[in-house]
Structure formats: structure tokens, C-alpha cells
Amino acid sequence: METCTSVWYSLTGFLDAIENKPRFVSLVYASTGVWAGCFLISAFTVMGKCFYEPCMEGHGIDMITKVHFGLSYEMFLYGWLFFFIAIYALFVMRVENAMTFSYWPFSTLIGATTVGVVLSFGQGCMYSALGDIMHNLKIHGDVEESQRESKVTGLQGAFDAMAVFCNFILVTYLFILTLVYRYTDEVTNPSVKDRSIPPGSTIVASSLPTGGNPYSSGNSYQTADESTTI
């Protein structure tokens, strides 16, 4: 127990000591893009493939014993979704002082990450189950159907790999949410005032950095009565 506590304090101390926190978060997001790419490569190797070779025939049974169109589409959709979240994160985190919930692209990114936690968990469970099915089919052995012998294909490895990559994405997303909890002022320091601009205020264009976050510290806005610095 003491060892686990010391490791935890060492890890949190390391995370807090990082100077360029947005870049570190960007690198962690980039790793999810790598896992998503590996997931897509594994998915392309099983799309449309049958559990037996040659494929079993019959109305209905042929769809049950293959990676049918619906399952292939789901692999393709979620794989690219995880990949695009990583790409979007890299664009969002390039903006100076982007890690504030008053900056709507960052809020959208955290929402997508939270949804990604649920999706990656569900996908990981599904492909793990498909890997178990292929393992049990191998134990059962080859089958004879339509006066021909059908052998079990080697899809188990691909399914297991997809489950592992989904679990990597899940763990990385949870780690990112932990970093956001530690690094974002609105979460860690309740005394920080809301940085959103009051209704009816006008942003002073000359005070905004090119391509920057208008809600970041040091920018100004004007109301009808006064000019206020955030």
C-alpha cells in the first residue's frame, strides 16, 4: 500500500512539474490517434470475412458466421471517430491558453473525449467477445456444410488486437480527463472567476492576438460603461 501511495505521489508530482501542459496533453491525444490507426488497420483485415472458409451458405446463417456489412460499418465509423478526435485535439490545443471551459472548442473536445470513453469501452467488450467466439469455434473444430468441409479462419488474432487497441484508447481518454481535472483552473480552483464575456459586451479587436483565444488571460472587453481586463 505504501509503495502504491509513493508511486501515485511521484506521478502527480511529475505531472504538476510539466511546464508546457497544453503540449503534453496534445501528445497524449496524439497517442490515441496512433491507437485508432492500429485499430483501423486491424479492422480492414476482418471486414467482410467469414468465420469459416469457405463461407457457410443459407438464409441467415451466412450473415451470423461472418463480419457482415453492419459490423464492418461500425468498425469503420468508430475507428475514424477516434482518429478524428485526436486530430481535432491537436488543432484545439495549438491555441494559446486553450485549456479553459470558456473556450467552446475545448469544451467540445472534452465532451467528445467523455463520449469516447463510453464508446471505446463498449467496442472493447464487443471485440473481446468476438475473439472468444472465434476461440470456441477453433475448439469445436471444422464443420461439414453443404457436403463440403469448412475450416475455421484465423480472425481471432485481429479481434483480440482490436479489443486491446480499444482498451488503450479507453485508458488514454481517462488519463486525459485526469489531466484536465488537474490542469484546468475552473475545475481545480473554484475561486477563479468565470472568464466568459458578459452579454452586451464588445471585444476590443486590437487587444486580441492573431489566431488566439479571445477568452485567454490578458485580453480586454468593453461594456457600455467601462473597459475590463480578464
What is residue 193's predicted lDDT score, i.e. its pLDDT? 44
Q: Identify the pLDDT of residue 123.
A: 95
Using one digit for the tens of pLDDT, what is the confidence trace for 154-175?
888 999 999 999 999 999 999 9
Dump pLDDT digits (tens) for 192-207: 444 444 444 454 444 4
Instruction: Please confirm whether the linkage preceding 209 is cis (ω < 30° from 0).
Output: no
Cα 14 to Cα 98, 157, 221: the distances in Å are 22, 36, 37
Verdict on whether the full-model pTM lies above 0.95: no
The whole-angstrom separation of Cα 229 and Cα 218 is: 6
Identify which of 88, 147, 77 has the alpha carbon closest to the alpha carbon of residue 113.
Answer: 88
The pLDDT value given to residue 192: 46
Query: Parallel, antiparallel, or unpaired for β 143-145 and 148-152?
Result: antiparallel
Q: 43 CB contacts (<8 Å, ≥6 apart)?
A: 72, 75, 76, 79, 158, 162
pLDDT (0 to 100) of residue 77: 95
Of residues 56, 63, 25, the one with CA closest to residue 183: 25
**What is the DSSP secondary-structure string of 75-120?**
HHHHHHHHHHHHHHHHHHTTSTT--STTSHHHHHHHHHHHHHHHHH
pLDDT score at 158 = 92
Which residues of the chain have a pLDDT value below 50?
A: 188, 190, 192-201, 203-208, 221, 223-224, 227-230
pLDDT in the model for residue 38 = 96
